[in-house]
Chain A
């Protein structure tokens, strides 16, 4: 069964929108409750004080996920580095994707970005699995000027249609991939994108998925790259 990791800043009142819970009803979910501490605080010191509070909040969340349909469990991590924690736990539970929980109501239409150097096969397979036999429309977005972009987009759309999904395509030839994605966001309830390799750009501006999540407000599902990313930097 496909597993999705849902990281939640559990002690900061963060929660998971009901729309995302319903959307993930078709897959297994691991709720990753995390709390990021400043460097001067040992993680264990925070555990001593907050473990009970955090665990009880996580148990409530897991219960909600279960009543939305899927199997769910939870992990609680105290850390100095959110990204390292998400990567480690995603590797450990063998998660196909992780979610950045935004605000949304019921999800009727997904925006799936195929721009950039992402594993298109994995993204499409994940979309098929998440939607299952529900009535959720898909918009495939490809931004770029490369030759054959239209063909790639059509091939991808064909694959989803064969799986019984209702698909629209959108090809953006101008502007940055990020702007193209943002322009398309308003008609959709959630975004699915592939994990891109770390680049200079992501060092400067932060992880692309996080930028998309904060700019779009809604939830973002990031399909992880095939190879587990090595969190051994610094």
Chain B
């Protein structure tokens, strides 16, 4: 870049920035090289693995209870918005294939204030998302206990909290002490989940369309086909689509990023959108709104039982455990990468990105991810956690689209993306409007918490890093 970041924070630390050359196989800095080891499969596994948990295993009950089969439209809208953002993100990521993802693009395109707000909100947004996945995991663990005949007494809610907190502590500890081959395990889990879901959904579709009769009750959900409820459900379930941007956080580690990044981001959005829409269609065909509302977070287990009996229920319980674990684990990792991004640019103290010698893992950043996750997971507020996570991500998505428009307008000479969004500024502008627009349909409490986070992070910028300059050659 022709104009380097400069300035210092109040502790006198400056952003780390040297001349860097990106090739398809490595990033070459002045004295060292960073190997790119992740392929397309790995990128897709991160995207799909982060996204597949919530939309299929937690939201169908909640969303179907609100608007019935119309929730298919809510999920489709969410997928469309994700796609409108994924395309601009792909362009930015191929121009700046570095760790840090959305934070990096916003800080280079729109300056340090926007960068600080997005960097810190991304950290906290991921914390909320991780807590949400962990609560989902808790509900599935409760159902798993029920399936094997363990009853948990008078206060199942407390059990969910305890399980969520233990799982959060477990994943943090696992990531600090080193999970050898975690990525390969993640790939395996994603492949297993996909094949389970395809079989399950195929059977569910045949049943819904009346080709096969599994003896399910003739459920006719009262469907609410009107704009406001459908959109507010879309705002709630948008958490299901947060994973594609996590692919951008590992952009610095991906081989041939010009090809693999857009494919992984757009591909994972398309795959999960199709799966979500089919899942919600099957779920709302099998059960009425009231039935889904009663079953709550683990309604899919009941759907599986109706379709395929006990084996169906077990498949969903196992799938739900795996999927929520994979989402939670992937999000904790992304959180620590988000913290590294801002710390490298001197927006957080440098010690936040230290690596310990024994395991080679970023223990401070993982702790800053895991600690608040555990606190939030204990609250068990599924909808609130999901919406705040969505809010903070939507702000970032909107600003990424704005950053793309700003960078394209100024044409700095370092900006040379291998992938370009077709159609000029139409897609990024639509992406920005859709992202900000969806926020309007959220619950007021979630909006209030989200706005509070943004205000606090902006305050942190003025206190800590006012002199840091991150903008590219704009």
Contacts and interface: CB of A to CB of B under 8 A. Distances in A.
A186 interface: no
A40 B33 contact: no
Interface residues of B, number: 41
A148 interface: no
Interface stretch (A42-50, A117-125, A129-137, A154-162): A42-50
B362 A40 contact: yes
A80 interface: yes
A60 interface: no
A55 interface: yes
Contacts of B445: none
A37 B360 contact: yes
Interface stretch (A70-78, A95-103, A167-175, A216-224): A70-78
A45 B249 CA distance: 13
A81 interface: yes
Nearest to A35: B360
Given A76-B31, A77-B32, A44 B182 contact: no
Contacts, number: 99
Interface in B230-268: 250, 252-253, 255
Interface stretch (B151-159, B172-180, B308-316, B382-390): B172-180
Contacts of B336: 40
A234 B252 contact: no
A9 to B, nearest CB: 12
Contact of B34 (A47, A49, A50): A47
Contact of B337 (A38, A42, A47, A76): A42
A95 B31 CA distance: 20
Interface string B175-202: 1001111110000000000000000000
B366 interface: yes
A107 B372 CA distance: 58
B32 A84 contact: no
B333 A81 contact: no
B34 A77 contact: yes
B42 A42 contact: no
B37 A79 contact: yes
A231 to B, nearest CB: 8
Nearest to A88: B25
Interface stretch (B114-122, B351-359, B435-443): B351-359
A54 interface: yes
A54 B32 CA distance: 9
Nearest to B180: A38
B34 A43 contact: yes
Contact of B355 (A45, A54, A77, A84): A45
A81 B35 contact: yes
Contact of A51 (B32, B255, B359): B32
Contacts of B39: 232, 234
A52 B352 CA distance: 19
B216 interface: no
Contacts of B366: 40
Contacts of A44: 27, 34, 98-99, 252, 344
B41 interface: yes
A39 interface: yes
Contacts of A2: none
B362 A84 contact: no
Contact of B32 (A76, A80, A232, A234): A76
B31 A78 contact: no
Given A41-B361, A44-B99, A234-B42, A77 B31 contact: no
Contacts of A76: 31-33
Contact of B361 (A36, A40, A49, A55): A40
Nearest to B187: A234
B34 to A, nearest CB: 4
B35 A78 contact: yes
A85 interface: yes
A55 B337 CA distance: 25
Interface residues of A, number: 30
B26 A42 contact: no
Given A38-B179, A40-B182, A46-B355, A234 B33 contact: no
A38 B178 contact: yes
Contacts of A46: 355, 360
A51 B183 contact: no
A78 B182 contact: no
B34 A38 contact: no
B29 interface: yes
A45 B232 CA distance: 39
B11 interface: no
A55 B31 contact: yes
A36 B34 CA distance: 11
A36 B26 CA distance: 14
A93 B409 CA distance: 40
Contact of B252 (A36, A43, A48, A77): A43
Contacts of A75: 33
Nearest to B31: A55
Contacts of B416: none
Nearest to B25: A88
A229 to B, nearest CB: 14
B120 to A, nearest CB: 18
Most chain A beta carbons < 10 A, residue from B34, B39, B252, B366: B34
23 contacts: A37-B360, A38-B178, A38-B179, A39-B181, A40-B179, A42-B99, A42-B252, A43-B35, A43-B252, A43-B253, A45-B340, A47-B32, A47-B34, A48-B16, A75-B33, A76-B32, A77-B33, A77-B35, A78-B32, A78-B33, A78-B34, A88-B35, A234-B39
Interface of A: 36-51, 54-55, 75-81, 84-85, 88, 232, 234
Interface of B: 16, 25-27, 29, 31-35, 37-39, 41-42, 98-99, 175, 178-183, 250, 252-253, 255, 333, 336-337, 340, 344, 353-355, 359-362, 366
Given A40-B175, A44-B344, A48-B344, 20 more contacts: A38-B359, A38-B361, A39-B179, A40-B362, A42-B252, A42-B337, A43-B252, A47-B29, A48-B353, A49-B355, A51-B29, A54-B32, A75-B33, A76-B32, A77-B26, A79-B34, A79-B35, A80-B35, A88-B25, A88-B26
Pairs of residues from A and B, 5 with the lowest C-beta to C-beta distance, nearest first: A79-B35, A43-B34, A76-B32, A80-B37, A42-B99
